[in-house]
Amino acid sequence: MKTSAIPTHPLPLTAEQAEAMEQRHIKKHHIAIMLLHWFNAMVWGLELMTGLALVSSPHFRVVPMWFLELVEGLFGPRSNLLRAHLTVGMVWIVVFLAYGLFGGKTYLTKEVLQKEIALDRDDFQWLRIRVLGILGRSKEPLPPQGIYNAGQKLFALMVYAMLPIIMLTGLIMAFHLFGTAAVGWAVLIHFVTVGVVVCGLIVHVYMGAVFPEEKPAFFSMITGTVNELFAYSHHFKWWREVKLEDEIWLHQRRSSEDAVPPARGGSDPGQNTVG
C-alpha cells in the first residue's frame, strides 16, 4: 500500500457503515487508568464530604448545618472526621506517588501529556462550538478531536495544576509544615483549589454521566473500550491514529511473514476504509 485509504478528515458515513462501526470496539483505557479513575472518584467523594463537614465555623462554613450533622452522624465525633479526611488524603497521595513513580515512564511522557492536556487550534474551536451547541446556539460541526476532547483536556489540565496544590496544602495542614502562618494560608488555598476543581467536576460529571452524546465515554471508564463510531465521530484524530498504527503494524506483519493477522479492536484492515 503506497498511500493509506484512511481519510484525513471526517467524512459522512452511510447508515450501514455507521452500524458496522458501532459494533466494533476500540480499546481506549488501560485497566490501571480505569481503576485510578474510580479510586479518584471515591476519594473525591469522601474528601469532599468530610472536608466540607470539617469547616464548621460560621465564618467559613459553606454547607448547611444539616449536612454537618449528617456527616457527623456517619463518622462519629469530629476527631474521626479529621482522622478520616487525613487518612483518605494520605492514601490518595501515596497512590498518586506510586502512580508517578511506577507509571510515570508510561503515562507522564511528553507525548502522553501533549495528548492529554495540550490544546491546539481545533480544541479552541471545539470548545466554542461545544458550548454554543449545548446551549442550542450553534449547529456547526465540531472540529476533529484527539483521544481526549478539548473539554476533557481542559479538565485534565486543571486537575494537573490543582492536584499538587491540594496535596501540598493538605500536607502542610496535616503535619504543620512551615509554621503556623503557612498552615493558615494552606487552609485558604486548599479551600480555593478544591473549589476550582469542584467546578470542573460538575462539568465533568455532567458531561460524563448525564450528557447523552458522551455516554460512550462514561462507559469506556467501565469497559475500557469505545465503539468505533463514537471514536470516529468524537475523537476523529485519535481514530485515525489508531487506524494508521494498525495499518503500519499490519503492513510490517504482512511483509515479514505470511500470517493471518489477529483482529484488532474487532476490526479488519479491509474495513478500515470508509466511504
Partner 1 sequence: MTRYAMVTDLRKCVACQACTASCNAEWEVPAGLSRTQIRKTPIKGTFPKLVAGTLVAQCAHCDDAPCVPACPSAATSKDAKGIVQVNRDVCIGCGFCVEACPYEARFINPVIKKVDKCDFCSPRLERGQLPACVTTCPANAKFFGDLDDRNSEVFRMVFSEGASRRDTPEIAVGPNVYYLGKREQVDLVMASYPPRPPKLPVAGVLWERAAKPLVIGAVAMTFLGQAAAFFQQLRIGEKEHED
Binding site for partner 1 (CB under 8 A): 54-60, 62, 78-79, 81-83, 134-136, 173-176, 180-181, 183-188, 191-192, 195-196, 198-199, 202-203, 206, 210-213
Other CB atoms within 10 Å distance of the CB of residue 199 = 12
For residues 174 and 146, what is the distance between their CA atoms, to the nearest angstrom? 39
- Residues whose CB is less than 8 angstroms from the CB of residue 21 and which lie 6 or more positions away in sequence, other chains included: 13, 227, 228, 229, 232, 274
Task: State the minimum distance, in angstroms, from the CB of residue 62 to partner 1.
Answer: 6
Of 91 and 202, which CB lies nearer to partner 1 in the complex structure?
202
Of 220 and 272, which CB lies nearer to partner 1 in the complex structure?
220
Other CB atoms within 10 Å distance of the CB of residue 117 = 18
Of 48 and 113, which CB lies nearer to partner 1 in the complex structure?
48
CB contact at 8 A, 149 and 126: yes
- Residues whose CB is less than 8 angstroms from the CB of residue 44 and which lie 6 or more positions away in sequence, other chains included: 201
Task: State the minimum distance, in angstroms, from the CB of residue 241 to partner 1.
Answer: 24
For residues 54 and 100, what is the distance between their CA atoms, to the nearest angstrom? 29
For residues 138 and 145, what is the distance between their CA atoms, to the nearest angstrom? 18
Q: Which one-letter amino acid corresponds to residue 180?
A: T
For residues 14 and 22, what is the distance between their CA atoms, to the nearest angstrom? 12
**Most distant CA pair in the chain, distance:** 75
CB contact at 8 A, 34 and 217: no
Of 58 and 262, which CB lies nearer to partner 1 in the complex structure?
58
Task: State the minimum distance, in angstroms, from the CB of residue 28 to partner 1.
Answer: 20
Where helices occur in 29-149 by DSSP H, the ranges are 31-54, 65-75, 78-102, 104-107, 110-117, 121-134
Of 34 and 192, which CB lies nearer to partner 1 in the complex structure?
192
Task: State the minimum distance, in angstroms, from the CB of residue 49 to partner 1.
Answer: 15
Q: Which one-letter amino acid corresponds to residue 187?
A: V
Task: State the minimum distance, in angstroms, from the CB of residue 183 to partner 1.
Answer: 5
Task: State the minimum distance, in angstroms, from the CB of residue 157 to partner 1.
Answer: 16
Of 58 and 270, which CB lies nearer to partner 1 in the complex structure?
58
Of 115 and 215, which CB lies nearer to partner 1 in the complex structure?
215
Residue 258 region, left (φ>0) first, then alpha (ψ -120 to 50), else beta?
Answer: beta
Task: State the minimum distance, in angstroms, from the CB of residue 71 to partner 1.
Answer: 12
